[in-house]
Amino acid sequence: MSKKLPVLLNPYIKTRFPYNKLKICRRCNNFTVLGESECPVCRKFALQNVENRAASILQRSMWRSWLIVLLIMTVGLVMSESTMQTILFAAGSLLLLALLWTTQRRSTPALLLSQLEKLFQKEAYTLFAGLVNDREMAIQVFHSGDKPLAFEMLREIGALVHTDQLRVEQILLLQSFVLRKDMDLMLDPLLMNHFNPDLVEYIGEIAKIRRDLIKENTFRYVMLHEAQILRMEHGESILVSVTGAAVRMKRYISLYPYLIMRYARKLPKDRFLRLYRIIQNSPSSSSSSLYEEVMGIYNEKYKWDEDFQLKSKEH
């Protein structure tokens, strides 16, 4: 078994939309999520955000509309046969320009999103090729020995590319690091539809150091593949750790009572104490199977434990 590396990972900077970090080169039209200003393909300092590209295209389209209206206005004024016609046509043209300006101003956000969609559809192949090139760059960095940087690059790509291959690559890198509570870790984006032992091992690590990352998608994944997890060398201990994360919130106890029932007996004392206290403070649970299981374990293992007795006295 290879020794895990102590590393320092840069925090992941979240954006409102995944494409907010996507850039396109003004020179070679390459897409990337890894470059800041220098294009990784042509090496020119010509990268711009895709939103800026879409805004530029939209701006040109709006200017064309203005030019058409101005052209019609000019032709109309030239062809006017009287002062009254000139005044009426000028007033109508100014009204049309004001209406156009108001409409464009109000619809700009929606038009910008529409333009982004058109850009992605038109450049779909180029976008795919650019992200493939980004991944190849990350793999090259990995082979050069800089695993933390390779992971950070794959993490950026993973915000846009949702493939199991990319998830596995990130998980394997994470599993080669000494994971700490203060790291900016993630779990939900790495979940897969099928059983993967590396993912399960990672879930077990997260359940020990960052219980707050264990959420409903993870519980569902674990329950779906519970039988396969139990066949793993440390599968049961992973399931116990996940159960320990479930007792963090009353909501999870209500949603996954049977998972908790199966592994409550093997919970560490502090996690079982939390489960016991939540159950005791929930009058509606007194008739449930989970309540009976918890009270049975309490009577068998902790009835005379001072920590549990202290809580009983408080009641």
Angle at 155 between CA 109 and CA 20, to 5 degrees: 10
pLDDT tens profile 143-195: 999 999 999 999 999 999 999 999 999 999 999 999 999 999 999 999 999 99
Hey, where are the domains in the chain? 1-178
CB 97 within 8 A of CB 69: yes
Nearest to 23 by CA among 1, 54, 2, 62: 54
Pairwise pLDDT comparison (62 vs 310), residue with the higher score: 62
- Residue 113 clears pLDDT 70, i.e. is over it: yes
- Measured distance between the N- and C-terminal CA atoms of the chain, rounded to whole angstroms: 50
Query: How far is residue 244's CA from residue 212's CA, in Å, rounded to a whole number?
Result: 11
User: What is the Cα–Cα distance from 200 to 162, expressed in whole angstroms?
Assistant: 18
* Confidence (pLDDT) at 314: 41
User: Is the per-residue pLDDT at 313 higher than 50?
Assistant: no
Q: How confident is the model at residue 310 (pLDDT cuts 50, 70, 90)?
A: low
Write out the two tokens for 236.
């049961």
* Rg of the Cα atoms in the chain: 30
The string over 143-175, giving b where at least 16 C-beta atoms fall within 10 Å of a residue's C-beta and e elsewhere, is eeeebbbbbbbbbbbbbbbeeeebbebbbebbe
Q: Which of 65-69, 98-102, 219-223 holds the top average pLDDT? A: 219-223
| The predicted structure's pLDDT at residue 2 | 62
In sign, the C-alpha dihedral spanning 140, 142, 145, 146 is positive
- Give the pLDDT score at 261: 94
Is the predicted pLDDT of residue 83 greater than 80, yes or no?
A: no
- From CA 81, how far away is CA 17, in angstroms rounded? 55
Please list, in sequence order, all residues whose beta carbon lies within 8 angstroms of the beta carbon of residue 185, skipping any fewer than 6 positions away: 174, 179, 206, 210, 213
Of 65-74, 108-117, 149-158, 174-183, which gets the smallest average pLDDT?
Answer: 65-74
Q: What percent of the chain has pLDDT over 90?
A: 61
Alpha-carbon dihedral 33, 34, 40, 44, rounded to 10 degrees = 80
- Identify the bridge partners of residue 156 per DSSP, sorted by sequence position: none
Torsion from C-alpha of 140, 143, 144, 149, nearest 10 degrees: 70
